[in-house]
Structure 1
């Protein structure tokens, strides 16, 4: 499985990348494999300020529906519009075109406290 070293990870299988105080969030390669074929992404939290680990949406696979948890506190700025028509991008490109949301991070230091790729890989193996 692929866990890019430049990203940080959560126990709930989300990844986060940070640029300034804006973060991009998605689900990991491990998570998309566990879920199977993703058929719908439902995120209606744009403009909302949420705490870390708050549910910001759901992802629906053929077999199940799973909540999406925010890695750090912040305000949701944008949802990936491509996922409306192509939710399968979460399966085929989870760290690229399959990203879920962009958020303004409340405290940038919180990102560094999340798991490294090495730690996350150990937690799922």
Structure 2
């Protein structure tokens, strides 16, 4: 809509008002509409996001899952900071890998164990 309004030579204010009328809440701020207009004036006509360098969109891959499992086998007392440092991924991804993929939880002693231990296995530690 913003691009269409720009091409029709509608003002930034009117374009923002059109967004509010069409979508009510939430809509981009007036400042965001101004930035888009500026980009269009600079002949950035593509509506696609520009390529960005940096971290991958997802750190939860079969490779990182396997690496996390190996780390737990080598040291069952490994902590989140050590996972993050070794695997070069964030704590949220580590949490997803540990709980959703590997099905482990942390004991009071700091060891990672499978969620589905029997009572006898749990007592044996």
TM-score normalised by the shorter chain: which range applies? under 0.3
Q: Which has the higher contact order (CA 8 A, sep 6+)?
A: 1
Q: Normalising by structure 1, what TM-score?
A: 0.21
More helix by share: 2
Structure number with larger C-alpha Rg: 2
